Amino acid sequence: APPHIPGIVLISGATGDFGTAFARRFAALGSRLILTGRNTEKLKALADSLDVPTHTLAFDVRDRKAMEAAVASIPADFAEIDLLINNAGLALGMEPAQKANLDDWEIMVDTNDKALAIMTGLILPGMVERGRGHIINLSSTAGSYPYPGGHVYCASKAFVTQFSLSLRADLLGTGVRVTSVEPGMVETSFSLVRFKGDAEKAAKVYADTTPLTAEDVAESVTWAATLPPHFNVNRVEIMPTVQAPAGLAVHRF
Ligand code: 8X3
């Protein structure tokens, strides 16, 4: 059967590595795109590189009023969003919790959780009204498997996974789908952001491995999004073959 192609896709964090990979994949499928991010020039450059009608919205997802105004400004011909990809998110810091920067904690919760929930809340009523739609949330293996220095980042992704599953409970019978995509190690600017520009530290994360790529994650996202409407992927957990859950630690004296 031909894949089910979403007509209009909104991607938050569109100028990041994941967002850009998603934008390219859905453009290749012929979807029309709403691209959101903080940087107007980067958004425009991405939009110009794509061969489909696009609408760009520049705002910071941590600014609720700006997000509400941006969503309210979506023109009528882009308003019937079929797929919302809540992709904007980040990790900051990897010090032990007792040494963490509390501003980092606040930014992670505001971006990964609060903004994701509010964005969903703004887009969801229209989907329910139309009896169709799909929300794909970018969670992480970090939401399931804790690791040292993960603290608020891991917890923020557990929120994303559980929010996604809980949405399914509320949306039962509405025709609106929800998917939590949970990648492990993917080589992107994720680590450069986490380590605040320390390129050496960031490169070490991926050294001597074959990590997943943003395109690999886009593969999972487009798979879930193009399945026929009766088929809901609740969770997709993906890792590079070189990575495995191997968690529990014991302190011995
Ligand atoms: C990214 C994966 O392992 O760096 O969410 O937390 S990890």
Output the domain CATH number for residue 56: 3.40.50.720
Per-residue pLDDT at 3? 82
- Best mutation site among 153, 159, 205 for ligand 1 pocket (most ligand atoms within 8 Å of CB): 153
Q: Residue 206 domain-assigned?
A: yes
Nearest protein CA to atom 4 of ligand 1, as residue: 185
User: How far away, in angstroms, is 141 Cα from ligand 1 center?
Assistant: 6
Quote the number of domains for the chain.
1
Q: Residue 246 domain-assigned?
A: no
Q: Which domain holds residue 144?
A: 8-238
User: How far away, in angstroms, is 55 Cα from ligand 1 center?
Assistant: 30
Residue 234, token pair as written in the block: 């609740």
Q: Residue 226 domain-assigned?
A: yes
Q: Residue 101 domain-assigned?
A: yes
Stated pTM of the model: 0.98
- DSSP labels for 50-115? -SS-EEEEE--TT-HHHHHHHHHT--GGG-S-SEEEE--------S-GGG--HHHHHHHIIIIIII
Q: Residue 248 domain-assigned?
A: no
**What's the sign of the alpha-carbon dihedral 193, 140, 138, 120?**
negative
Residues 114-155 pLDDT 10s: 999 999 999 999 999 999 999 999 999 999 999 999 999 999
Q: Residue 250 domain-assigned?
A: no
Contact indicator for 78, 32 with CB cutoff of 8 Å: yes
Nearest protein CA to atom 5 of ligand 1, as residue: 140
pLDDT less than 50: residues of the chain? none
Contact indicator for 141, 184 with CB cutoff of 8 Å: yes
Q: Residue 253 domain-assigned?
A: no
Read off φ and ψ for residue 42, nearest 5 degrees: -65, -40
